[in-house]
Structure 1
Amino acid sequence: MDEKPSTRAATSALVLSILSWLVVVGTHPSRSRSLGDALYWEPVPVLGPLVLPLLAIVFGHVGLRRTRLGKGRGRAATALVLGYLALAFGAARFVGIVAAF
């Protein structure tokens, strides 16, 4: 790989933000009896839409800070936008799951 270390964080952020959208859109926790059961038996559908966007946002800010005007700045900015949107949808989904219990 000929990728510079400064753009690795931006690329990681973009990959994590795309994965977070796949988790937000692609998974749906089944109806468990309680929130504790849902967290124990289905942690990825319940917590994935919150954890992955947070990681994407952190890596996006790191990538944005490390790249000035060079390569990777667009990737970092795109990852931040996708990460914040996925976090908003994931948080709304989590509130809906909690309200169902």
Structure 2
Amino acid sequence: MELSYLTSKIRSAATDGKAARKMLGEDLARSFHSIVADIRDAMYMGEVPGTQEIELADGKIGLNYLLGHLAVLEVEPIGSAPNDVHNWRQVHRVRLLRIVQDGKVLV
């Protein structure tokens, strides 16, 4: 899938509850919006409650948040400082990349 298409879909899912429920179903949409709310409320990514899996690929850090039903929200910390396994907790902003379930991109 084209990146701009995925960016548009994830943005729509994050801002529109009805669209999220249509794309993800009731339970995944609820989990997704809960994590998005936690990210918005946190000053730094290290303050987001719950556990996340940290990945390092192509020199970039990725954070994966479990949504349930084997679905994962993939997030990329962004900022002016280089992001690595040592400083991602101090990052203020993230890019919501996609939601994946069993290896298939949902949004």
Q: Give yes or no for TM over 0.5.
A: no
More strand by share: 2
More helix by share: 1
Task: Choose 1 or 2 for highest CA Rg.
Answer: 1
Q: TM-score, normalised by structure 1?
A: 0.31
